[in-house]
Amino acid sequence: MSAAAPAAAPAAAPAQQQPAFRRVFGFIGGAVAKVVSTTFIVLVVALVARHVPDDKNTIAKTHSPEVVLARMLARFEAGSVIPRFEKYHVSRPDAIAMLQKVLRPARLKDYTVVIGEVGCGKTTAVHNAIRANSTGIVYHIVKSEVLVSMPGLLARSLAFEPNQFTEGYLKDRGVELDEVTSAAEPFRSWVLLSLILRDVAQQFKTKHGHPATLVIDAVDEIAQQGPALLHAIQDFAKAAADEQLLNVVLVTCDGSNLPELKASSAMTRARIAEVSDITDEQAVDFLLHRGVNEDAAKRAVAEIAGGRFVLLNSLVFELQFKTVDQIFLKFHIGTRGALRRLFGDLAQISPPVSSTFCRLCRGAQHVDDVEEALGLDLTKKLLATHINILAYHPNDTYTLHSRHVQRSSRFGVLRCVSAYVMI
Ligand SMILES: Nc1ncnc2c1ncn2[C@@H]1O[C@H](COP(=O)(O)OP(=O)(O)O)[C@@H](O)[C@H]1O
Ligand SMILES: *[C@@H]1O[C@H](CO)[C@@H](O)[C@H](O)[C@H]1NC(C)=O
Ligand SMILES: *[C@@H]1O[C@H](CO)[C@@H](O)[C@H](O)[C@H]1NC(C)=O
Ligand SMILES: [Mg+2]
């Protein structure tokens, strides 16, 4: 089992390093001592740097651990630059206010997992919440990069460039690095980054009196390629919250990866915040602003999109040359196909499964009831993002994934209206 080895390494390493950190922090003691010693080291480096030849001078200026850490600290202090939103914008004051509390908690107790369906507007809302004042906040979004390059790209967002002195710096701080350096990528890079991040987070807190915030958006991209790295990041987030060191906010679409997140014991420490869809009225308004006529807008929202941005955006485009019925039919065929692949003959769906679907058509159902009736395995399959039949909500309920799935199930696929009475 070659897969087990890298998974084991990151779990073991931080646990062993914690006592070392405590010893070091305890030994230096006190906020003032830390600031003074850091300043002193920077001064010494600067003085020494003036008396060595030019190339070494440059290396000391750009590569010394103190300079490398200072760059990451400066990145936190300046905050990430969030691009402006170009298109017509639906204002979501409640979601933004909720996220701003998550980004700047009055007291750091937990790390936060922000969830919401694909395309419900999480990234946009998080951007808006940060843009108002990004001081102390670094934002990083995971793209569909291969797993091994994830820590490197995160490091870039943090303005962290590891170099030949990084490991020596950590060893001098009393960190036992043997397990880290022998771990496979991406864990090796992640653990090195996380160790430096802890130091910088401590410096930020000492200097500003409150913890900095690190947002990692789209962590579902990590989970899709194997949960071990995500679990390592969650363990870090939990430890950082326990020690009130750094406010870590993970953003994810739920569904397929929530079971993965839950599988981590660190999940028990997470506070879950949901970004939900906008209201039907806001959605109709959005379509009107984007040039859709009122009749089509109302029907398209009621029957297909609800308040889901990703669907609304595609409707703006498709309604130019298709009717609401034609667009619905395409979604309906997709849903029916997905269910057929899962169940085989839809007429053979067992009564408990069928009645569960029908109850879901009428509204949110408690997770326990759904999982009991469908079984864990089927529930997980229906949650998967490429199937998108079920949606999880942090108030411990499931709903059908979107308005068109609801409508497909009710009238087309399962004929809930009559079937429910028959069962
Ligand atoms: N408040 C908003 N007003 C207008 N369009 C929005 C808004 N929020 C999101 N969108 C649009 O909806 C789409 C999905 O949004 P995004 O933030 O990427 O969702 P998520 O991160 O949840 O997948 C994007 O095209 C975005 O431009
Ligand atoms: C931004 O937030 C920081 C830290 O919370 C605060 O000190 C600063 O005054 C805020 N800046 C603005 C312009 O509101
Ligand atoms: C739970 O959340 C979902 C989605 O936001 C909502 O539709 C449902 O009414 C909520 N259920 C309860 C019991 O609060
Ligand atoms: Mg997003």
Q: Encode 280-302: b = buried (16+ Cβ within 10 Å), e = exposed.
A: eeebbbbbeebebeeebbbbbbe
H helices, E strands: number in the chain: 22, 8
DSSP state of 40: H
Q: Which of residues 274, 289, 305 is at a domain's end? A: 274
Which residues crowd ion ligand 4, with CB under 5 Å?
Answer: 122-123
Q: What is the CATH number of the domain that holds 380?
A: 1.10.10
For residue 272 and ligand 3, the question of a CB distance below 6 A is answered with: no
Q: What's the rounded Cα separation, in Å, for the pair 52 and 214?
A: 37
Q: Which ligand sits nearest to residue 106's alpha carbon? A: 2
Residue 104 alpha carbon, nearest atom of ligand 2 = 5
Measured in angstroms, how far is the CA atom of residue 392 from the centroid of ligand 1? 19
User: Is there a single domain that holds both residue 228 and residue 365?
Assistant: no
User: Is there a single domain that holds both residue 169 and residue 267?
Assistant: yes
The answer to whether position 258 is within a domain reads: yes
User: Is there a single domain that holds both residue 380 and residue 247?
Assistant: no
| Number of domains making up the chain | 2
> What's the pLDDT score for residue 193?
96
**154-168, pLDDT tens digit by residue?**
999 999 998 888 888
Question: Given ligand 2 and candidates 107, 130, 133, which is best to mutate, with the most ligand atoms within 8 Å of its CB?
Answer: 133
Q: What's the rounded Cα separation, in Å, for the pair 406 and 413?
A: 10
Q: Which of residues 245, 274, 303 is at a domain's end? A: 274
For residue 133 and ligand 2, the question of a CB distance below 6 A is answered with: yes
Residue 272's H or E segment, with its range, is: strand 271-274
User: Is there a single domain that holds both residue 46 and residue 162?
Assistant: yes
Q: What's the rounded Cα separation, in Å, for the pair 33 and 62?
A: 25
The answer to whether position 306 is within a domain reads: no
Contact between 392 and 320 (Cβ < 8 Å): no
Q: Which ligand sits nearest to residue 363's alpha carbon? A: 3
> What's the pLDDT score for residue 360?
92
Q: What is the CATH number of the domain that holds 115?
A: 3.40.50.300
Exposure of 238 by Cβ count < 10 A (0-12 exposed, 13-18 middle, 19+ buried)? buried
Of 111, 70, 106, the C-alpha closest to 203 is: 70
Distances in Å between the Cα of 166 and the Cα atoms of 185, 195, 246, 277 are: 17, 10, 21, 44
> What's the pLDDT score for residue 384?
80
Q: What's the rounded Cα separation, in Å, for the pair 416 and 407?
A: 10
Q: What's the rounded Cα separation, in Å, for the pair 242 and 205?
A: 14
User: Is there a single domain that holds both residue 263 and residue 201?
Assistant: yes
The answer to whether position 54 is within a domain reads: yes
> What's the pLDDT score for residue 380?
86
The answer to whether position 316 is within a domain reads: no
CB atoms within 10 A of CB 107: 6
Question: Given ligand 3 and candidates 308, 396, 399, which is best to mutate, with the most ligand atoms within 8 Å of its CB?
Answer: 399
Q: Which of residues 274, 301, 331 is at a domain's end? A: 274
Q: What's the rounded Cα separation, in Å, for the pair 71 and 344?
A: 57
- pTM equals 0.82
Measured in angstroms, how far is the CA atom of residue 281 from the centroid of ligand 1? 17
DSSP state of 82: P
Partners of 212 in beta bridges: 246
User: Is there a single domain that holds both residue 239 and residue 330?
Assistant: no
Low-confidence ranges of the chain (pLDDT < 70): 1-57, 254-269, 411-423
Domain span at 358: 323-422
User: Is there a single domain that holds both residue 261 and residue 332?
Assistant: no
Q: Whose CA is nearest to atom 7 of ligand 3?
A: 364
The answer to whether position 178 is within a domain reads: yes
The answer to whether position 64 is within a domain reads: yes
Contact between 152 and 185 (Cβ < 8 Å): no
Listed in sequence order, the residues at least 6 apart from 91 whose beta carbon sits closer than 8 Å to its beta carbon are none
Q: What's the rounded Cα separation, in Å, for the pair 14 and 23?
A: 14
**Token pair recorded at residue 182:** 């022998």
The answer to whether position 313 is within a domain reads: no
User: Is there a single domain that holds both residue 105 and residue 197?
Assistant: yes
User: Is there a single domain that holds both residue 263 and residue 159?
Assistant: yes
Residue 250's H or E segment, with its range, is: strand 246-252
Residue whose tokens read 């009196």: 209
Measured in angstroms, how far is the CA atom of residue 171 from the centroid of ligand 3? 50
Of 101, 83, 84, 85, the C-alpha closest to 93 is: 101
Residue 151's H or E segment, with its range, is: helix 150-157
User: Is there a single domain that holds both residue 335 and residue 206?
Assistant: no
User: Is there a single domain that holds both residue 244 and residue 388?
Assistant: no
User: Is there a single domain that holds both residue 238 and residue 346?
Assistant: no
The answer to whether position 282 is within a domain reads: no
Measured in angstroms, how far is the CA atom of residue 318 from the centroid of ligand 1? 17
**104-149, pLDDT tens digit by residue?**
999 999 999 999 988 999 999 999 999 989 999 999 999 988 889 9
For residue 329 and ligand 3, the question of a CB distance below 6 A is answered with: no
Q: What's the rounded Cα separation, in Å, for the pair 153 and 138?
A: 13
Name the residue type at position 305.
A
Q: Pairing mode, if any, of strands 212-217 and 246-252?
A: parallel
Q: Encode 318-353: b = buried (16+ Cβ within 10 Å), e = exposed.
A: bbeeeebeebbeebbeebbebbeebbeeeeebeeeb
Measured in angstroms, how far is the CA atom of residue 144 from the centroid of ligand 1? 18
